[in-house]
């Protein structure tokens, strides 16, 4: 199967501003078919704004064990970030192409400051 290649800088732009850090906990399926979250943290989701893309908001999923900022910590305004090993994967929902974003970790973007 062919896997499309997406040019990450052209898709997102170069300037990403961090809005929020959210814990991503393990989810288990119960016998009745419903789901429960456990206390096991699988990684973190980073909500960012792409400034060069009309302030489009995206969420980047990581599997890092320690976040850039704790979820209950105040994030300094205009914190510019970058992602190591960022991949963008297209998928289809209800006939529309969607994008999912994964990275190994989030870092402060020193080049933008």
Provide the 10 A C-beta neighbour count for residue 52.
13
Helix (H/G/I), strand (E/B), else coil: 111? helix
Helix or strand or coil: residue 107?
A: strand
What pLDDT is stored for residue 5 in this prediction?
A: 67
Nearest to 97 by CA among 7, 4, 1: 4
Q: Report pLDDT digits (tens) over 23-75.
A: 999 999 989 989 998 899 999 999 999 998 889 999 999 999 899 999 888 99
Q: Which residues contact 40 (CB under 8 A, 6 or more apart)?
A: 25, 26
CATH code of domain 14-112: 2.40.50.390
Read off the pTM: 0.85
Q: Give long-range contacts, CB 8 A cutoff, 24+ apart: 1-6.
A: 4/90, 6/88, 6/90, 6/99
Structural domain boundaries of the chain?
A: 14-112
Q: Provide CB contacts within 8 A for 43, sequence distance 6+.
A: 24, 61, 62, 63, 64, 65
């Amino acid at each position: 199967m062919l896997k499309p290649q997406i040019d990450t800088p052209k898709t997102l732009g170069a300037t990403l501003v961090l809005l929020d850090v959210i814990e991503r906990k393990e989810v288990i399926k119960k016998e009745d078919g419903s789901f429960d979250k456990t206390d096991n943290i699988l990684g973190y989701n980073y909500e960012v704004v792409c400034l060069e893309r009309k302030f489009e908001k995206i969420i980047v999923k990581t599997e890092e064990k320690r976040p850039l900022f704790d979820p209950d910590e105040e994030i300094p305004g205009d914190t510019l970030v970058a992602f190591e090993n960022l991949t963008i994967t297209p998928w289809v929902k209800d006939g529309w192409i969607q994008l999912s974003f994964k990275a190994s970790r989030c870092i402060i973007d020193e080049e933008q400051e």
